Chain A
Amino acid sequence: MALSVCIRAVRRSCVARAVTAVRLSTHSEPSLQNGAKVAAFPGAKAPYVNEMKILNENSYDPIPIYRVMDSNGDIIDSREEPDIDRETLINMYKTMVQMNQMDKILYESQRQGRISFYMTNYGEEGIHVGSAAALTPKDLVYAQYRELGVLLFRGMTVSELINQCYGNHEDPGKGRQMPVHYGSKQRNIVTISSPLATQMPQAVGAAYAFKRSADRDRVVICYFGEGAASEGDAHAALNFAATLECPVILFCRNNGYAISTPSREQYRGDGIAARGPALGLHTIRVDGTDALAVYNATARARELALQNKPVLIEAMSYRVGHHSTSDDSTAYRPLEEIQQWSKDENSIQKLRLYLERKGLWSEEAEKAAAKDARDLVMRTMQNAEKKKKPHWKEMLEDVYYDMPPHIQKQMKQMEEHLKKYGDKYPMDQYQNE
């Protein structure tokens, strides 16, 4: 019985399909087929067309790059000049100087074997200070690993950062992670982890929690590179942000390279920005070497995010430095290309010229700031080097909120082992009791 009903139903639908096929072949008006101009499929709101057209990467114009300053630091359209107070502008520039000095000295110290690893931020300074200045200290930051300027602008001290790189007992992370994996609960900066793009759906979730909380004046910003944007987690984040309407800014640093892989081998569409509207996000592409353009875009994005309209920002830049201290980038790109970007479209230079024109900066100020920044880093490093690493027992703490019995047992085993074989280990480098 049930079977025959089933067969009848199938037959009926076949007939219906045949009728539709006949109608289609007559090329009747789309509007006549279902009585409406827009098709009623639940999956998309779109009109019918009778001309077949397959879209490709050239079907849309590229998303333009928003800029406020030219390469000489001149404002192109005065209506776009942001209203940033003197103090903040100077702070933005000093942060650039500070991060540059820290990069130079820590990069060298890795070369000398004083720290195990380092990643510089050359070429992306405008992105960091421009976006950080447009946020409030309550906004939560999820970083990838190349966002030193954001952390400095937020108020993380050079000493906190350098202690992390040395993994000494004053490192808030207790020496457990590789250098540059910073984090500070106090500053609303979620601790950085190495797996790429994992922070993206997390940032969206945190933003959703903000939306539900009593304090509605907070957004989440999540930084990631254009390489990380190829991860599945990036897709998850963009889609979840849109469908769950989260107060989040997804901020892509497109610097042209993921280690040795040029963006040409990373994607074939119009960069990362083009994915935004495709997934239902507000989107802007901005000149990442122009701190003022980044500032404007982030400030506007923050306003939209507070209305639960998530925003994707793609900041174009060039990774002037090597990927990390484990990389020699001249093996895969020409030296001239690097030089061109470090000279002509240098984000520090642009902001300095802008400040000089406004009478907020000078040659003397530059010298003093660079010296202060260098001295601070040198002094902090010397201190950091002298500090012992945390007590070895920290190796087994914080795995869980409370230490379960099996880990307690392992700690006792290690304790016994060290009593007998302690001289085989560099125990003098660690704190005692």
Chain B
Amino acid sequence: MATLIKKKVIFSHIVKYVNRSTKRLSSHFTYFPDNEAPVQGETTQMNMMQAINNAMDITLREDPSAVLFGEDVGFGGVFRCALGLQEKYGKDRVFNTPLCEQGIAGFGIGMATTGANVIAEIQFADYIFPAFDQLVNEAAKARYRSGGQWGCGLTVRAPAAAVGHGGLYHSQSPEAFFAHAPGLKVVIPRGPITAKGLLLACTQSPDPCVFLEPKVLYRAAAEPVPTETYTLPLGKAQVLREGSSATLIGWGTQVHVLLEVAQTAEQQLGVKCEVIDLMSILPWDQETVFNSVRKTGRCLVSHEAPLTSGFGAEIAASVQEECFLHLEAPVSRVCGWDAPFPHVFEPLYLPTKHRVYHELTKLLEY
């Protein structure tokens, strides 16, 4: 009996330990693959890294002026997004630069000034700040200050957002810093299909684009991606799930958190929530958002970046201005806390499905 109890205690310890590690280590979201392809035709199963690689491959293949560069891009990049491209297109088109973000951005702007199609990589979005001056004061203002004489069709790619253990400098979501810079386009995909379509749209855009890639999706997200060339429009959101009780707005990884919350809310509360992937942060699709909120009367915005002056603030203010008479409750924001992104506290820092669900129930009961 005693041994049995002892065994039981040990077993329960193990279960507790495993449960705890699962809670700690499991990703904070479930990936919802895209069901509909944006174009007809052949598809290939790709994860997001492969879809991005495919988009850059197409750009380099179709535009002889196109180049790709950054830190460690030559051997394929630390996230393997540039894999095989240097072998295919040569060292003068896919190359390493010295380790200097302001140099990468400035160099890219200069190339774009001559009309070249430029894709520059910043290794992590957390390290884009040394290039902030070049992007905000130079790239964003190049067309305006020259009276339209000189443009800057530059695309800057950067892995962004939470990855489970990235701590302060491998987890940031800096979109709101750039959303305050007229002249820039800021774009964030939610998976392979959107990554390819939006990245190709960025490379074809005559305006400078900051393309933030949620790095946790590079391998976690896979779906059938059309093999041919296609673009998704910049400045346009997508309604991923229709509903009438509340509008949930997010982008990047957080879209999948919102989709799961909408599913749970339907199962447990019997309410249908509309889920919108904003995709373009600047310029953002006000029309789609306002139409949805006018219909549902309730709005919840959720992002990984800190609450204060996050892009959710811009959405909340605009929604109250445009949908005032339709709102049944104050706009709710579920975001990262106003602290640097922490290492061991990540599970408590993120706007988890539980936090979003909790706020949604309050929003519905208001």
Q: Which residues of A contact B109 (CB under 8 A)?
A: 201-202, 205
* Residue from B95, B107, B108 whose CB has the most chain A CB atoms within 10 Å: B107
> What mask results when residues 298 to 317 of chain A are scored 1 for a CB within 8 Å of chain B, else 0?
00000000000000000000
Q: Which residues of B contact A416 (CB under 8 A)?
A: none
Q: Which residues of A contact B110 (CB under 8 A)?
A: 201-209, 220
**A202→B150 contact, CB < 8 A:** no
CA distance A207 to B235 in the complex (A): 33
> What mask results when residues 141 to 156 of chain B are scored 1 for a CB within 8 Å of chain A, else 0?
1111111111100000
Q: Which residues of B contact A244 (CB under 8 A)?
A: 95, 97, 107
Instruction: Select one of B118, B137, B149, B283 contacting A405, CB under 8 A.
Output: B283
Q: What distance in Å separates the Cβ of B87 from its nearest Cβ neighbour in chain A?
A: 18
* Residue from A177, A190, A191, A232 whose CB has the most chain B CB atoms within 10 Å: A191
CA distance A205 to B139 in the complex (A): 13
Q: Which residues of A contact B287 (CB under 8 A)?
A: 405
> What mask results when residues 127 to 166 of chain B are scored 1 for a CB within 8 Å of chain A, else 0?
0001001100110011111111111000000000000000
**A176→B144 contact, CB < 8 A:** yes
**B150→A185 contact, CB < 8 A:** yes
Known: A239-B103, A398-B147. A205 touches B108 (CB 8 A): yes
CA distance A266 to B138 in the complex (A): 25
Known: A185-B149, A198-B134. A400 touches B98 (CB 8 A): no
Query: Within 8 Å of chain A (Cβ to Cβ): is B36?
Result: no
CA distance A210 to B235 in the complex (A): 33
**B138→A202 contact, CB < 8 A:** yes
From B108, which residue of chain A is reached at the shortest CB distance?
Answer: A205
Query: Within 8 Å of chain B (Cβ to Cβ): is A388?
Result: no
From B112, which residue of chain A is reached at the shortest CB distance?
Answer: A205
**A239→B98 contact, CB < 8 A:** yes
Known: A205-B108, A236-B102, A239-B98. A398 touches B92 (CB 8 A): no
**B107→A205 contact, CB < 8 A:** yes
Known: A185-B146, A239-B100, A243-B98. A404 touches B283 (CB 8 A): yes
**B182→A212 contact, CB < 8 A:** no
* Category for how many chain B residues contact A: 35 or more
> What mask results when residues 215 to 252 of chain A are scored 1 for a CB within 8 Å of chain B, else 0?
00000100000000000110111011001100000000
Q: Which residues of A contact B100 (CB under 8 A)?
A: 232, 235-236, 239-240
Query: Within 8 Å of chain B (Cβ to Cβ): is A193?
Result: yes
Q: Which residues of A contact B182 (CB under 8 A)?
A: 399, 407
**A401→B207 contact, CB < 8 A:** yes
Query: Within 8 Å of chain B (Cβ to Cβ): is A70?
Result: no
Q: Which residues of B contact A239 (CB under 8 A)?
A: 98, 100, 103
Residues of chain A at interface, number, CB under 8 A? 49
CA distance A171 to B65 in the complex (A): 31
Query: Within 8 Å of chain A (Cβ to Cβ): is B214?
Result: no
Query: Within 8 Å of chain B (Cβ to Cβ): is A137?
Result: no
Q: Which residues of A contact B113 (CB under 8 A)?
A: 190, 202, 205-206
Query: Within 8 Å of chain B (Cβ to Cβ): is A406?
Result: yes
Known: A209-B111, A401-B143. A233 touches B148 (CB 8 A): no
**B92→A193 contact, CB < 8 A:** no
From B107, which residue of chain A is reached at the shortest CB distance?
Answer: A205
**B143→A398 contact, CB < 8 A:** yes
Query: Within 8 Å of chain A (Cβ to Cβ): is B286?
Result: yes
Instruction: Select one of A200, A206, A397, A406 contacting B114, CB under 8 A.
Output: A206
Instruction: Select one of B111, B141, B147 contacting A174, CB under 8 A.
Output: B147
Q: Which residues of A contact B108 (CB under 8 A)?
A: 205
CA distance A211 to B90 in the complex (A): 14
Known: A195-B137, A401-B143. A213 touches B106 (CB 8 A): no
Query: Within 8 Å of chain A (Cβ to Cβ): is B116?
Result: yes
Instruction: Select one of A172, A207, A233, A400 contacting B143, CB under 8 A.
Output: A400
**A208→B111 contact, CB < 8 A:** yes
Task: Name B70-120 residues within 8 Å CB distance of A.
Answer: 92-93, 95, 97-98, 100, 102-103, 105-116, 118
**A209→B114 contact, CB < 8 A:** yes
**B111→A205 contact, CB < 8 A:** yes
CA distance A23 to B17 in the complex (A): 52
CA distance A364 to B283 in the complex (A): 62
Query: Within 8 Å of chain B (Cβ to Cβ): is A183?
Result: yes
From B285, which residue of chain A is reached at the shortest CB distance?
Answer: A405
Query: Within 8 Å of chain B (Cβ to Cβ): is A262?
Result: no
Query: Within 8 Å of chain B (Cβ to Cβ): is A109?
Result: no
Query: Within 8 Å of chain B (Cβ to Cβ): is A321?
Result: no
Query: Within 8 Å of chain A (Cβ to Cβ): is B191?
Result: no
CA distance A206 to B67 in the complex (A): 13
CA distance A211 to B142 in the complex (A): 23
CA distance A235 to B101 in the complex (A): 12
From B284, which residue of chain A is reached at the shortest CB distance?
Answer: A406
Q: Which residues of B contact A400 (CB under 8 A)?
A: 143, 183, 185, 207, 283
**A195→B95 contact, CB < 8 A:** no
Q: Which residues of A contact B151 (CB under 8 A)?
A: 401
From B280, which residue of chain A is reached at the shortest CB distance?
Answer: A404
**B97→A398 contact, CB < 8 A:** no
> What mask results when residues 157 to 173 of chain A are scored 1 for a CB within 8 Å of chain B, else 0?
00000000000000111
Q: Which residues of A contact B107 (CB under 8 A)?
A: 201-202, 204-205, 208, 236, 240, 244
**A173→B111 contact, CB < 8 A:** no
CA distance A201 to B65 in the complex (A): 19
**B102→A172 contact, CB < 8 A:** no
**B102→A405 contact, CB < 8 A:** no
Query: Within 8 Å of chain A (Cβ to Cβ): is B167?
Result: no
Query: Within 8 Å of chain B (Cβ to Cβ): is A325?
Result: no
Instruction: Select one of B106, B137, B141 contacting A236, CB under 8 A.
Output: B106
From B109, which residue of chain A is reached at the shortest CB distance?
Answer: A202
**B102→A191 contact, CB < 8 A:** no
Query: Within 8 Å of chain B (Cβ to Cβ): is A110?
Result: no
CA distance A103 to B212 in the complex (A): 47
> What mask results when residues 271 to 313 of chain B are scored 1 for a CB within 8 Å of chain A, else 0?
0000000000001101100000000000000000000000000
Query: Within 8 Å of chain B (Cβ to Cβ): is A181?
Result: yes
Query: Within 8 Å of chain B (Cβ to Cβ): is A184?
Result: yes
Query: Within 8 Å of chain A (Cβ to Cβ): is B206?
Result: yes
* 13 intermolecular pairs with C-beta atoms under 8 Å apart: A172-B147, A173-B149, A176-B147, A191-B145, A193-B141, A201-B109, A202-B109, A204-B107, A205-B107, A213-B114, A233-B103, A240-B103, A405-B287
Contacts from A to B (Cβ < 8 Å): 140, 171-174, 176-177, 181, 183-185, 190-191, 193, 195, 198, 200-213, 220, 232-233, 235-237, 239-240, 243-244, 397-401, 404-407
Known: A200-B106, A201-B105, A233-B106. 18 other contacts (CB 8 A): A193-B145, A201-B107, A202-B107, A202-B138, A205-B107, A205-B112, A207-B110, A232-B102, A233-B102, A235-B100, A243-B98, A244-B107, A398-B144, A399-B182, A400-B283, A401-B151, A404-B283, A405-B287
